[in-house]
Structure 1
């Protein structure tokens, strides 16, 4: 096999949660470039429709769906709809996430619970539902979007969002544990742990502290709109068929 063919995804179907904008949209574009059919879902259907239409104009089979990943009924329904519309799901990217900035002593309990419900419980529920279908077909690739914040404790002046960092640490262990449990079914489970990227979630932090964050980064910069694409394609394609349970931090060296 030609090495470049190992990265091709023709005939595959991907589901990307939170795929309407930011890192999810970038990953959708990357997998589409390799020939993958793309489905995207989130609570904000309009943003997902824009992504799907953008890909459709490039000749990619793509469709948008509304889904709150914290609602089990909606999760079950959207997975069923995608299976009806596309026949299968080969690749799942768990990208939906949220955060809440506050000092530990001022973090509202409802904020902590919201972050955990989206980032941890949502990742579990949609992995569980898609995984049932992947087990039947005895194949699948699951990519969880964790965070460098789940690998390294930052000082409060850099990141003061203990719920977010704790949830991403949970996603990291979930990735390893699920990889161990589902390896027998031909399902690969890995995670990407991004550092700082310009997204809606990080906009406020980067506006206030962007220069300081760049200066402390070994590569002296933050991620751009293409920095995650290669890693996502690696983990979604057959080129990673001997990689499972791994966390790849795409952070410019910030977790060193």
Structure 2
């Protein structure tokens, strides 16, 4: 049920971290994968690694906050693979700060990447999926779409807002696109080690100790632990799952 042979998957934010891991997981299940990100050199490294295993991967440079860049990237994928069956919107940024300290530029940057980027990718991919009457869209939200931090050192108001918006967009698209054979779901990871967190949250011993004490799993998520949920929502195993936020959080949202 998780097998993806013959499918084409597009992954944004695929140059490193969870996005790159997801691209590898898709390829292992037989999908042809198109990796999108701004950093072409890092994309090329991941693509070369995948292709060495006799899988199919291409690197496409793309700034998801720029409409012309997104349109060109989608056109490039279609020219190479002719269709798009799966879209994983993984690209995102986390900017710390409260409404009192954030600048308008920081707000626009976070919303532009985390929300506008998903909107633009879907704007150009959904018509392809509607035409073929099949599609799987998976949006990476966050547990911080439904949880927030009281500690002023951990306040991330624009991150909370943007990830909540991702969930709202997911629900809206799911309701109207289901009739075309397209499912749209979101994943809400808690703390995972990635390029974005390795040099920030994972270097704050006091924060990690508090997180581990609170989380029922007593630890952050490990690399690869998001791949199963991603494959579930991207495959026919979830054929009747639509408009859902699946929290992958070690249980931290229940305490």
Q: TM-score range by the shorter chain?
A: over 0.9
Secondary structure of 1:168's aligned partner: helix
Report deviation, 1:103: 3.0
Out of 52, 61, 74, the residue aligned to residue 57 of structure 1 is: 52
Using the size of structure 2 for normalisation, the TM-score is 0.96
What CA distance in whole angstroms lies between the structure 2 residues aligned with 1:38 and 1:96? 16
Q: For 1:27, which of 7, 18, 22 is the aligned residue?
A: 22
Q: Distance in 2 between matches of 1:51 and 1:192?
A: 23
Distance 1:166 1:175 in 2: 14
Query: Displacement, 1:200?
Result: 2.0
> CA separation of 1:127/1:196 partners in 2, compared to 1, >3 Å: closer, same or farther?
same
Residue 184 (structure 1) shift: 1.1
Q: State whether residues 63 and 70 of structure 2, in contact with CA within 8 Å, keep that contact through their aligned partners in structure 1.
A: yes
Partner secondary structure for residue 139 of structure 2:
strand
User: How much has 1:158 moved relative to structure 2?
Assistant: 6.4
Which consecutive aligned stretches of 4+ in structure 1 deviate over 3 angstroms post-superposition?
A: none
Is 1:172 the equivalent of 2:170? no
Further displaced range: 194-203 or 148-157: 148-157
Matches within 5 A, 1:1-256: 6-157=1-152, 159-203=154-198, 204-208=200-204, 209-256=207-254
Gaps of 5+ in 1: 1-5
> Could you tell me whether the CA contact under 8 Å between 1:100 and 1:161 is conserved in 2?
yes
Conservation of the 8 A alpha-carbon contact between 1:158 and 1:213: no
- Alpha carbons of structure 1 residues 144 and 158: separation in structure 2 relative to 1, 3 Å: farther
Q: Secondary structure at the match of 1:211?
A: helix
Q: SS at the partner of 1:218?
A: coil
Q: TM-score, length-normalised on structure 1?
A: 0.96
Structure 2: state its 5+ residue gaps.
Answer: none
Give me the whole-angstrom Cα distance separating, in 2, the residues matched to 1:150 and 1:47: 29
Note the aligned Cα RMSD (angstroms): 1.0
Deviations 1:32-53 (A, max 9, x none): 1111111101111111111111
Asked if the contact 2:148–2:155 (Cα under 8 Å) also holds between the matched residues in 1, the reply is no
Shift of 1:102: 1.8
Q: Deviations over 1:33-84 (max 9, x none)?
A: 1111111011111111111111101111100010000110111111011001
Residue-pair matches, total: 251
